[in-house]
Amino acid sequence: MQVFTASGVSDRCGKALPSGTKRTRDWFMTTASTDKPASSPLAIHSAADLTIEDIRAAADRIHGAVVRTPTLHSKTLSDITEADVWLKFENLQFTAAYKERGALNALLLMDEERRSRGVIAASAGNHSQGLSYHGTRLGVPVTIVMPRTTPTVKVMQTESVGGNVVLHGETFDDAYKHARQLEQEMGLTFVHPFDHPHVAAGAGTVALEMFEDAPDLDCIITPIGGGGLISGMSTVARALYPDMDVIGVQAELFPSMYMSMRGEDLPCGGDTLAEGIAVKAPGDFTSSVIRDRVDDILLVSENALEEAVSLLLQIEKTVVEGAGSAGLAALLTNKERFAGKTIGLVLCGGNIDTRLLANVLLRDLARSGRLARLRITLQDRPGALFKVMREFEAHNVNIIEIYHQRIFTSLPAKGLVTDIECEARDRAQLDALITALRTKNYTVAAVESN
Ligand SMILES: Cc1ncc(COP(=O)(O)O)c(C=O)c1O
């Protein structure tokens, strides 16, 4: 899995900010002024470089070239969460993610000379596809550097929308360094996936459209990777609805912005379902916007992300990737906090591997008791299995597969273990079957998936 770091290389998540500076929004334990002059050698931008006017201008600029996605009310998710839930379907963009907006805005703000020389990025994710698609459409050569370890399917997806993929190094950091080197050598323009006002302004157009369709939101819950999306959206929220709660969400495995804002040190890394927000070091510019305009950041578990992906497919019939489900995951995890409120969630991406999606759905069925593997100890004699199967029939539980194990068990030679994979209507039906089997003196255990 690739991990983007704003500075290129980082083994740890974003470090705590220096303390002793002014406090802005209440929830931050530590705040720091990152308001550096635009003329600093690193040309680091600050929150002041992103205004609602920038975002309105971005909306005009990209109008017609990105999909004007709908924001729709979800009756069933509202019932489940006891909040009033509105969903913005950014997974309906051509490359299935909101990233196109920022990439396109950055491309359109570049002068002709830069555009003709070409742009470069280091990413194996949604940014590379958005930049490749719009760059190619506009006649701008796009180079994307990815580590050699990148799955072929991601290389092909980027090439299919026009990107010229350069494979370099073993890790994402190697690829990043190489991209910065090519930027210098070939006179290309590096387009950052999140830490630039032009990119964040493009992302902010998501909020302009969302508030147009759902003008009565109390709160938005927005995924944070490096922080570009929430920087743009929070800027719109603060300008149009000063009292709106703006909440960010990160995966528990990658709490980089959360730590940076709170001055905490937590483990950071792992195989998250939400690789779109698996960022180890948050941006400097985005940190300054978040410090100024975001109220809180929540963390969500892998189980919550899986559940949210499954619910969105089952209920809304829409495919989201892990990062795209993070807002709903946060809502499901914090029901009491958001009960009774009108909440806006962005389904910010839909690029999920189909085999991974299949696994997520099956694991969700297992967690909810609709799919199970029961391990039953039997005596090795004719009719033993048949009697057990009659119990399944009596409880109307469907058998999918039977694994009868005589050799590889720790039981005596006359014993055997049978694993029966089955599907039930719900957990109650499954529990009734297990109770009935135990009443008949069978040893039964449900094999846990996680
Ligand atoms: C689907 C999806 N959601 C959220 C994000 C996070 O965006 P940001 O880095 O702007 O916080 C990304 C970033 O690539 C993404 O692809």
342 shares its domain with 298 = yes
pLDDT on residue 357 = 95
The rounded distance, in Å, linking the Cα atoms of 360 and 182 is 39
331 shares its domain with 217 = yes
Residue 174 lies in a domain: yes
175 shares its domain with 205 = no
Kindly give, in sequence order, each residue whose CB lies less than 8 Å from that of residue 163, ignoring residues fewer than 6 positions away: 128, 129, 131, 132, 135, 136, 142, 143, 144
Place of tokens 């806006």: 344
pLDDT at 16 over 70: no
> Which comes out higher in pLDDT, residue 82 or 21?
82
Site to probe by mutation for ligand 1, drawn from 229, 300, 328 as the one with most ligand atoms within 8 Å of Cβ, is 229
C-alpha count within 13 angstroms, C-beta hemisphere, residue 384: 15
Q: Give the nearest ligand 1 atom to 351 CA.
A: 1
Does 224 sit in the ligand 1 pocket, CB within 6 Å? Answer: yes
| 266 exposure class (CB count in 10 Å sphere: 0-12, 13-18, 19+) | middle
Residue 375's CATH number: 3.30.70.260
Residue 112 lies in a domain: no
Distance from Cα 223 to the centre of ligand 1, integer Å: 7
The pLDDT-based confidence of 18 (bands split at 50, 70, 90) is very low
Residue 15 lies in a domain: no
Q: Give the nearest ligand 1 atom to 226 CA.
A: 9
pLDDT at 171 over 90: no
* Phi–psi pair at 433, nearest 5 degrees: -65, -45
218 shares its domain with 284 = yes
Summarize the confidence of residues 195-218 as an average pLDDT: 98
143 shares its domain with 253 = no
Is the separation of the CB atoms in 202 and 106 below 8 Å? yes
Summarize the confidence of residues 314-337 as an average pLDDT: 97
277 shares its domain with 324 = yes
Does 125 sit in the ligand 1 pocket, CB within 6 Å? Answer: yes
pLDDT in tens, 395-416: 999 999 999 877 776 766 667 8
The pLDDT-based confidence of 379 (bands split at 50, 70, 90) is confident
pLDDT on residue 448 = 75
**Count of structural domains within the chain:** 3
Give exposure, 182-202, as e/b (b: 16+ Cβ within 10 Å). Answer: bbeeeebbebbbbbbbbbbbb
Interior angle at CA 284, CA 283 and CA 285, nearest 5: 95
pLDDT at 8 over 60: no
Nearest protein CA to atom 6 of ligand 1, as residue: 225
End-to-end CA distance of the chain: 21
pLDDT on residue 43 = 54
| 34 exposure class (CB count in 10 Å sphere: 0-12, 13-18, 19+) | buried
pLDDT on residue 26 = 55
pLDDT on residue 117 = 97
Site to probe by mutation for ligand 1, drawn from 91, 129, 194, 309 as the one with most ligand atoms within 8 Å of Cβ, is 194
Summarize the chain as % helix, strand, coil (round to 5).
Answer: 45, 20, 40
Range of the structural domain that residue 165 is part of: 119-187
pTM over 0.85: yes
**Domain termination site, one of 362, 391, 422:** 362
pLDDT at 161 over 90: yes
Alpha helix positions (H), 138-283: 152-160, 172-186, 197-213, 228-240, 256-262
For the record, the structure tokens of 51 come out as: 């205004």
pLDDT on residue 50 = 97
pLDDT on residue 346 = 98
Distance from Cα 226 to the centre of ligand 1, integer Å: 7
210 shares its domain with 244 = yes
- Give residue 238's region: left, alpha or beta (phi > 0; psi -120 to 50): alpha
Kindly give, in sequence order, each residue whose CB lies less than 8 Å from that of residue 386, ignoring residues fewer than 6 positions away: none
User: What percent of the chain lies above the pLDDT cut of 90?
Assistant: 78
The rounded distance, in Å, linking the Cα atoms of 346 and 327 is 7
Q: Give the nearest ligand 1 atom to 127 CA.
A: 14
pLDDT in tens, 41-55: 345 899 999 999 999
pLDDT at 36 over 70: no
Q: Give the nearest ligand 1 atom to 102 CA.
A: 10
- What is the number of other CB atoms lying within 10 angstroms of the CB of residue 384? 14
Q: Give the nearest ligand 1 atom to 279 CA.
A: 9
Does 349 sit in the ligand 1 pocket, CB within 6 Å? Answer: yes
Distance from Cα 323 to the centre of ligand 1, integer Å: 7
Nearest protein CA to atom 15 of ligand 1, as residue: 276
For the record, the structure tokens of 35 come out as: 């308001």
Does 97 sit in the ligand 1 pocket, CB within 6 Å? Answer: yes
The rounded distance, in Å, linking the Cα atoms of 235 and 226 is 16
The pLDDT-based confidence of 421 (bands split at 50, 70, 90) is very high
Residue 227's CATH number: 3.40.50.1100
pLDDT in tens, 117-159: 999 999 878 999 999 999 999 999 999 999 888 878 889 999 9
Q: Between the CA of residue 105 and those of 46, 61, 68, 297, 375, what are the distances in Å? A: 18, 7, 15, 27, 57
Does 232 sit in the ligand 1 pocket, CB within 6 Å? Answer: no
Residue 100 lies in a domain: no
The pLDDT-based confidence of 25 (bands split at 50, 70, 90) is low
Summarize the confidence of residues 324-351 as an average pLDDT: 98
Kindly give, in sequence order, each residue whose CB lies less than 8 Å from that of residue 41, ignoring residues fewer than 6 positions away: none
Does 223 sit in the ligand 1 pocket, CB within 6 Å? Answer: yes
pLDDT on residue 78 = 98
- What is the number of other CB atoms lying within 10 angstroms of the CB of residue 168? 18
pLDDT on residue 147 = 86
181 shares its domain with 221 = no
Does 146 sit in the ligand 1 pocket, CB within 6 Å? Answer: no
265 shares its domain with 146 = no
Q: Between the CA of residue 104 and those of 94, 200, 205, 233, 400, what are the distances in Å? A: 13, 11, 12, 17, 49
**Domain termination site, one of 187, 217, 232:** 187
Does 103 sit in the ligand 1 pocket, CB within 6 Å? Answer: no
Residue 147 lies in a domain: yes
167 shares its domain with 280 = no
Distance from Cα 139 to the centre of ligand 1, integer Å: 25
Is the separation of the CB atoms in 289 and 228 below 8 Å? no
Query: Listing from the earlier edge strand, what are the strands of the sheet with 398-405?
Result: 398-405, 415-423, 371-379, 443-446
**Domain termination site, one of 158, 187, 216:** 187
pLDDT on residue 266 = 95
For the record, the structure tokens of 9 come out as: 């290389």
pLDDT on residue 449 = 64
For the record, the structure tokens of 355 come out as: 């085999």
The pLDDT-based confidence of 27 (bands split at 50, 70, 90) is low
386 shares its domain with 309 = no
Nearest-CA neighbor of 347 among 161, 210, 208?
210
Summarize the confidence of residues 366-393 as an average pLDDT: 93
When mean pLDDT is compared across 102-106, 130-134, 380-384, 436-440, the lowest value belongs to: 380-384
Does 201 sit in the ligand 1 pocket, CB within 6 Å? Answer: no
334 shares its domain with 225 = yes
Distance from Cα 222 to the centre of ligand 1, integer Å: 10
Does 276 sit in the ligand 1 pocket, CB within 6 Å? Answer: yes
pLDDT in tens, 247-257: 999 999 999 99
pLDDT at 330 over 70: yes
pLDDT on residue 295 = 98
DSSP 8-state symbol, 29: S
> What is residue 288's three-state secondary structure?
helix
Mean pLDDT, the chain, rounded, equals 89
